Amino acid sequence: MTGLQVKRTYSFLLCLTFLGERTFGVLTKLDLMDKGTNALDVIEGRSYRLQHPWVGIVNRSQADINKNVDMIAARRKEQEYFETSPEYGHLAHKMGSEYLAKLLSKHLEVVIRQRIPSIIALINKTIDELNAELDRIGRPIGVDSGAQLYTILELCRAFDRVFKEHLDGGRPGGDRIYKVFDHQLPAALKKLPLDRHLSIKNVQKVVTEADGYQPHLIAPEQGYRRLIDGSIVYFKGPAEASVDAVVHFVLKELVRKSIAETEELKRFPTLRSDIAAASTEALERFRDESRKTVTRLVEMESSYLTVEFFRKLNSEPERTPGQAGSKADKHSKEKETVQNMDTFGDNYLRRIASNVSSYINMVCETLRLSIPKAVVHCQVREAKRNLLNHFYARIGRQEKERLGAMLDEDPALMERRTNIAKRLQLYKSARDEIDSVAWK
């Protein structure tokens, strides 16, 4: 190969070289150059300067390859060539394949040291992501009954927190209870058939039949009581409907939503079903107690009537216009009233209906305020405090096999957790290995 050919080859190689901090220049087969020519201008950086030094090497010739000359012998021969060469003797310590290997290794070490902080940061980020994924799908569960019981209780508490957040406004849904009291209950009370019950015809029938054969002496007291009792009975329907609406259409729906939104429960379908069943059972108990309470509230209103209200009533029957202004006939008119008490005019019956209606409106307002209090006390408050108390007592008595059955998992999820755990261990090992050698 002539010097001109060598220089053209150099030029071709240089055109293909990417210039930058990672670029090393290597000249091969320097022993094949024509006598009187050399590559010192390139090697010493005068023809083409790089950030890293040029290195000349002498590869094995084809004859060496054919003779199976090993690499150790070839490198020894290469070193002898540079040490005895008049052109490259002064650069012999910076020439050869062995020097090139050391130079590249040193540079690689420097680059690795520079990259170690970013590599460790990337590994730590991946470890955090894997830990977060494990936390999301759940860590492995211990096999002993104590660990299983602790896990079940923790999962129940996680569900309970979500459920309370719905009731307290941290999550949507609890406001529906207020809507039952603010809209449904008042609307139901307005629809009660009190007008029909207090119609003139019905009032006359009830008042007439109230005392049997006994005539009314002063006022139809028993008639009043019967009309009031008959009116108050109508309030049981809206009261019980409010109880059912809160239990069935609000609290049960909030239980379902809370179970679905509790991430920790998604891996345990059996435990989800058990918690749902226990919650429904508790809500039914609370509903029964609430029904008893609101029923008592309604019955209390008819058990004891407000005396002051009826003391103010005008018990005189309807008078004819001719009777209205005569003071002289006062005694005779009072006598006539007593004798004809069983025969009432329409205006008097209307006055009775109006008096009863006023009293019922007062009772209605009282119940409109007290029914929500009873429902909240017996259902909502109890659901917040004791929704799973019976369930806690039951699982505390369960055998190990039953506890394990409650914590069954999807096999695909278990396999996924195992794979994540293996990856996590590999990344942690890599980080520890890098930390052990990074600053040596």
Coil, helix or strand at residue 318: coil
Q: What is the dihedral of CA 208, 212, 217, 223, to 10 degrees?
A: -50
Element (H, E) at 56: strand 54-56
Task: Say if residues 282 and 388 touch (Cβ distance below 8 Å).
Answer: yes
Residue pair 379/283 in contact (Cβ under 8 Å)? The answer is yes
Q: Give the separation between CA 89 and CA 105, rounded to whole angstroms.
A: 24
Start-to-end CA distance of the chain, whole Å, equals 47
Give the tokens for residue 192. Answer: 């009660």
**Residues β-bridged to residue 247:** none
Phi, psi (rounded to 5 degrees) for 336: -65, -35
Domains annotated on the chain, with CATH: 3-95 (3.40.50.300), 138-314+350-409 (1.20.120.1240)
How far is residue 178's CA from residue 181's CA, in Å, rounded to a whole number? 5
Question: How far is residue 367's CA from residue 240's CA, in Å, rounded to a whole number?
Answer: 12
How does pLDDT run along the chain (440 residues), one tens digit per residue?
Answer: 444 444 444 444 444 444 456 778 888 888 777 777 888 878 887 887 888 888 888 877 777 777 777 778 878 888 888 888 888 888 888 888 888 888 888 888 888 888 888 888 999 999 999 999 888 877 777 778 888 899 899 999 999 999 999 999 889 888 999 999 999 999 999 999 999 999 999 999 998 888 776 666 666 888 888 999 999 999 999 999 999 999 889 999 999 999 999 988 888 889 999 999 999 999 999 999 999 999 999 999 988 888 777 777 654 444 444 444 444 454 444 444 444 444 568 888 998 899 999 999 999 999 999 999 999 999 999 999 999 999 999 988 888 788 888 888 878 888 888 899 899 999 999 988 888 775 55
* 233-244 tens-digit pLDDT: 999 999 999 999
* Alpha helix ranges (H) inside 71-192: 71-84, 97-137, 145-168, 175-179, 185-190
Model-wide pTM > 0.85 = no
Determine contact, residues 234/192, Cβ cutoff 8 Å: yes
Q: Give the pLDDT confidence score for residue 174 in this predicted structure.
A: 87
Please calculate the CA angle 293-156-411 and round it to the nearest 5 degrees. 140
Question: CB within 8 A of 32, min separation 6: which ones?
Answer: 1
How far is Cα 88 from Cα 82, in angstroms, rounded to an integer? Answer: 6
